[in-house]
Amino acid sequence: MKKKILIISGGISNEREISLKTGKQVSIELLKNNYKVKIVEPNYKLSEVIQKFKPKIIFNALHGQFGEDGYIQTILETTNIPYTHSGVLSSAIAMDKNLSKKIFINNKILTPKYFMYYFDKSKKDLINYINKYLGFPVVVKPVNEGSSVNVYICTKINIFKKIELLKDYKKIIIEKFIPGREIQAAIIGLKKLGAIELKPKRKFYDYEAKYNSKAKTKHIIPVNLNKNEYKKLMSLALKAHKLIGCSGVTRSDFKFFKGKFYLLEINTQPGMTNLSLVPEIALYKGISFIKLIEMILRNASKKK
């Protein structure tokens, strides 16, 4: 009999639907391979379920706020049961785009120039400040969301309309828009898993492009980079993974423009759906979905 695995999925974030899909896909694969599996929501019954089921490992299939920002990780630390993906501090840092970008900058990893915008500040000089410091177009996005939720590319004409949509966040990031190719690189443990390029039909690789098959985003693997460029890409992804203190699997999102890689963000809870990138990268490398899941589980067992 193989190990008991408890999968936590769902939650209350804007990425609930994707989390449920990740949990279901992982569950199906584990059940097919003789694991004993239980799926649970991260609600008030979580501790009771853990005590009764007595899992060997907890698979964290949550995405977004409360699932990959250190919140659920703090709760899981009290169980003394190994759980997948990154721990409390690394999850919190990676989810906070302002904090993680500061770490990238301090460690000479190129990332788009940006500033924080607080909604209690006047909008009066915003256009002039952007023109001087960044230049249009710019990207506006929440500090702590994943899956490109509420991310907008803005010009002078529509910026006030778009940032108004984000006012509930209290503060947002405004960063320079970097054109060029969208390339994402995956790390598992300290292993450079591989990379994939995305050519969305939409303006950029947003939520719809990621999770709606009708968006028809083109996935290119292997990525058309020369040997040195590919080595640089994967080294940057591993460097970011180590700097943030991540464990398990991460996916780093880059823009490649004029021979330079710009790291947009690092994701500590990449999706595991039938449209997700990490399983696709793994499969290209000859690693089946169940083998990928088992690699993640083995990594969890090594955590303190």
pLDDT in tens, 147-205: 567 899 999 999 989 988 988 888 899 999 999 999 999 999 999 999 999 998 755 44
DSSP the chain: ---EEEEE---SSTTHHHHHHHHHHHHHHHHHTT-EEEEE-SSTTHHHHHHHH--SEEEE---STTTSSSHHHHHHHTTT--BSS--HHHHHHHH-HHHHHHHHHHTT-----EEEEETTS-STTHHHHHHHHT-SSEEEEESS--TTTT-EEE-TTTHHHHHHTTGGGSEEEEEE---SEEEEEEEETTEEEEEEEEE-SSSSS-HHHHH-GGG-PEEESS----HHHHHHHHHHHHHHHHHHT--SEEEEEEEEETTEEEEEEEESS---STT-HHHHHHHHTT--HHHHHHHHHHHHHT--
**Which pLDDT score is estimated for 203?**
54
pLDDT in tens, 272-294: 987 799 999 999 999 999 999 99
Question: What is this structure's pTM?
Answer: 0.91
Query: Which domains are seen in the chain, by residue range?
Result: 4-85 (3.40.50.20), 93-110+180-301 (3.30.470.20), 114-176 (3.30.1490.20)
| Active site residue ranges | 15, 147, 211, 251, 253, 265, 267, 271
Residue 113 has pLDDT above 90, yes or no: yes
Residue 19 has pLDDT above 90, yes or no: yes
Least confident of 46-50, 128-132, 146-150: 146-150
Least confident of 35-49, 59-73, 123-137: 123-137
